[in-house]
Structure 1
C-alpha cells in the first residue's frame, strides 16, 4: 500500500497501472455485443484510441469485441497524439487504402 510522502518511481507505477488496466474484468453496456455484431455485417469498424496498443488489444479480446474491428489505431503505434491532424490523416489514409494491421 502506498503511503503519504512515500517516494515512488513514476514509470514503474505507470507500467503497473497499464498492466492492471488490461487485466480488469471488461464489463460491456447492455446490448453492446449485439450492436457490434449487427454493425459488423454492414460496416467496416475500427478503434481509434489514445490507449497503449497492448492494453487496448487485451481489453478488446477480454470483452469479446476484438473480432468485430478491422483495425486498431492508437497514438503509441502511430506516433502522433489525438487530436493532431497527422494522427487522423494517418487513420484516414489507412482506412481508405483498406490496409489493416490487425486483420480478421
Structure 2
C-alpha cells in the first residue's frame, strides 16, 4: 500500500504517451521519405520488423551500459539498412535519425485515461517525469500532446548520465525535488526497470500493467491509469 506521498514521478513512454502507436507512424513516415522510392525492393513490413528487432537489442545494450547513447542513435538505422545490403555514411544516418526523432515527437496519441488521471492527481500532488528517453525529444512529445502543463520536473537518462534500472538516475531525480526518497512514488509500465529498481532506490512504486490482467503479489499493481484514483 502506498502512503505518505508528497511527489509522484511517472514514466513517459508506454505509461502516459502511447509509444507503440506513435512510433509506428513515425517509422512509416521515415520509411516513406528515405526508403520507399530509393530502395523499392525493401518492403515496409520487412523494414519495420528489422528495425524493431535491432532497436530493441540496442536499447537493452544501452541499459546495460554496453553502448553509449550516440551508439544507440547511430546504429539502429545504420544496422537496419545494412541488413538490406545498403551502406550509408554517418551524415545520412544522422539525417534519418533526426527526422525520425522529430517526427516521433510530433505524434500525440496518449495511453487511455492519461489526461483524466493527470488532471485529477495534479490537484493533489506535485508531478514529474522520469524517463530513459532523450530529453529534447521527450519535451516535444509532452508539449505536442498537451500534457507538459501537469509536470514541474523532467528527468531524462541523457541529463542524469544514467539509465534505469541504475540507482543513480533515481537518486538524481529525487535530488531534483524537495522531498525524501520514501515520500516519492514512481509509476511505470516496466516492472523490473521502473518499479523494482525504483523500490531498491528507496521510492514507492505502482506498476501499470495494461498488457494483461496480471497483478504482482508483492508490488502494487493497476491495470489502467484510471485505477490509480482508487489508490491515490
- TM-score surpassing 0.5? yes
Corresponding position of 1:91? 173
Equivalent residue, structure 2, for 1:8 = 88
Structure 2: gaps of 5 or more residues: 1-34, 43-83, 180-232
The answer to whether the Cα contact below 8 Å between 2:153 and 2:176 also exists between their aligned partners in 1 is no
- Report the number of matched residues: 96
Larger Rg over CA atoms: 2
Q: Structure 1-normalised TM-score?
A: 0.79
Cα shift at 1:9: 4.2
Structure 1 residues 7, 71: closer, same or farther in 2, change over 3 A?
A: same
What residue is the counterpart of 2:106 in the other structure?
A: 23
RMSD: 1.8
Between the aligned partners of 1:80 and 1:29, the Cα distance in structure 2 is 26
> Structure 1: which 5+ residue stretches go unaligned?
98-104
Tell me the TM-score normalised to structure 2 length.
0.38
Shift >6 Å, 4+ stretches: none
After superposition, the C-alpha distances for 1:49-93 in whole angstroms (9 at most, x for unaligned) are 011111101110111100001111001111111111111111112
* Alignment-derived partner of residue 54 in structure 2: none
Which of residues 151, 154, 163 in structure 2 aligns to 1:69? 151
Q: Distance in 2 between matches of 1:38 and 1:88?
A: 25
